Amino acid sequence: MDVKDAEVEADLSRREGCDAALERLAELAPDGLDGLVACAGLGPATRPVSLITRVNFFGAQRLVDGARRLVANKKGAVVVISSNSAPMDCDQSYIDALLALDEERACSIAEEIGDGHNAYAGSKQAITRWMRREAAAYAAEGIRMNAIAPGITRTAMTDSVYADAELGPAIKEFGETVPVGRLGQPDDIASAACFLLSDEASFACGSVFFIDGGHDAMLRPDEF
């Protein structure tokens, strides 16, 4: 599923796009889903800033909640892609609006703040907190739900931030501080997602896995 060139094409920034995607998903997998990875996301260089809010939180939340029955039918698993920026201090009114599922207020606050980093980190914090709040209810239906918090990973989204005149230098400098000495690669995150979807992770539920080369441990050594 993607915004283009995919088996299911979907614009997850719009409620109608999510609904259409879920309808198509039900047609393709009427018996249910073994697993679902909510991976779509936009980076802090995205404009308008509110688009980050619409995709990263509301797109992910609607997709997961809307596919809940399909995943429950197979006693499957869900992986939400968070970020190691999720623990950042963010505007509390923004977080509150996200967790209240008040999309227009959350987008309005994001635009008022006008800071892509805050919009991005806040969206990831909120989707992670939503996952944690819902994990027990999902588990009661046979669904294990967890989150992965990637660090800086070389993707098209990261490349767009690198190319940004304002954000590029800071993110490049940040990338040089990864303790293991390199940026993450998509396969690093995919391998973790495959593990969490598998039976080998059958007792992992409601957890947040930091796959970030040691950045979170370096920056928050006493918090876990």
Overall average pLDDT of the 87-106 stretch: 97
CATH superfamily name and code, 15-218: NAD(P)-binding Rossmann-like Domain (3.40.50.720)
Overall average pLDDT of the 95-121 stretch: 97
Q: Fill in the amino acid letter for 118.
A: N
Cα gap 72→125, rounded to integer Å: 25
Considering the chain, what is the average pLDDT of its residues? 96
Indicate if the pLDDT at residue 135 is higher than 90: yes
4-32 pLDDT tens trace? 999 999 999 999 999 999 999 999 999 99
Overall average pLDDT of the 189-215 stretch: 98
What does the DSSP assignment read for 102-140? -HHHHHHHHHHH--HHHHHHHHHHHHHHHHHHHHHHHHT
Angle, vertex CA 15, rays to CA 160 and CA 145, nearest 5:
75
Could you tell me the residue ranges of all domains in the chain? Answer: 15-218
What pLDDT is attached to residue 11? 95
Residue count (the chain):
224
Overall average pLDDT of the 194-200 stretch: 98
What pLDDT is attached to residue 157? 80
Which one from 94, 120, 138, 162 is the annotated catalytic residue?
A: 120
49-73 pLDDT tens trace? 999 999 999 999 999 999 999 999 9
What pLDDT is attached to residue 76? 98
Cβ(110)–Cβ(47) under 8 Å? Answer: no
Is 120 in the active site? yes
146-193 pLDDT tens trace? 999 999 999 888 888 888 888 888 888 989 999 999 999 999 999 999
